[in-house]
Structure 1
Amino acid sequence: MSELRRHWTPTAVVFLALAVAGLIGTWTFNVFAIVQMRDFIGDLVTSGPAVSSITVDLLVVAIAGSVFIIVEARRLGMRFAWLYIVLSGITAFAFTFPLFLAMRQRHLTARRSSPTRPA
């Protein structure tokens, strides 16, 4: 049993909790749409449970992505990771998360090609 517990880091627990919140949050509104016999695609344009479901979906993804940004940036020694999260409030997480991934890839490539760093 302790073998199983040691693999559950605090970060893994946060991601698992977000997964559960995402499932419950989105499917609550999906069930509302089904029970009310709503036009899910039509509701995306006008309003209704579909919009609420997508809002919860995107919010949970943004939170999980923000946690990932902080954890991964610390692990790799990248500075100013908090800036990606702050900028997402001004621009969009759809912009800042891929931007972080691009900068992360550059950082990893630079580390691999550095002559002073052992392979």
Structure 2
Amino acid sequence: MKPKLTWIEVLFLVLAVIGLAATWYYNALFYLEVDDTSIGNFIALTKTTLPAKSINADISVVAITFLIWMVYEARRLQMKHWWLFIPLTFLVALAFSFPLFLFFRERKIRGNAHLSKQT
């Protein structure tokens, strides 16, 4: 039986839901309000102002760092289906995949600790 959720697991899940809702709210507005809704135009619009370029650079470095660390950490912990977080990062949002990965990482660490106490 899986143990109940800890406060940190709940926090990671809440952040994942917020990340999903916040990013997709603006994605929906983009598709409803912009004439050219191609992915090319979406990406081009992220480069229209200096603040947008700054945020784009910031998020790009964070995403690359997360993906490198996530692969390393997931393999180290022998997490199942870790590779799903790679497409989730690009198809949904980093703001969703990162806290969701942290949730599953925390569950794995707690599960491993629980197993080691039994032996």
TM-score by length of 2: 0.56
Moved over 2 A (4+): 115-118
Q: Does 1:105 align with 2:106?
A: yes
Secondary structure, aligned partner of 1:88: helix
Secondary structure, aligned partner of 1:114: helix
User: What is the alpha-carbon root mean square deviation over aligned residues?
Assistant: 1.6
Secondary structure, aligned partner of 2:110: helix
After superposition, where does 1:1-119 map in structure 2 within 5 Å?
Answer: 47-114=48-115
**Equivalents in 1 of 2:83, 2:61: separation in Å?**
18
Task: Flag structure 2 segments of 5+ consecutive residues without an equivalent.
Answer: 1-47
Identity of aligned residues (%): 38
Q: Deviations over 1:4-27 (max 9, x none)?
A: xxxxxxxxxxxxxxxxxxxxxxxx
Structure number with the bigger relative contact order (C-alpha 8 A, sep ≥ 6) is: 2
Q: Deviations over 1:28-56 (max 9, x none)?
A: xxxxxxxxxxxxxxxxxxx4111101100
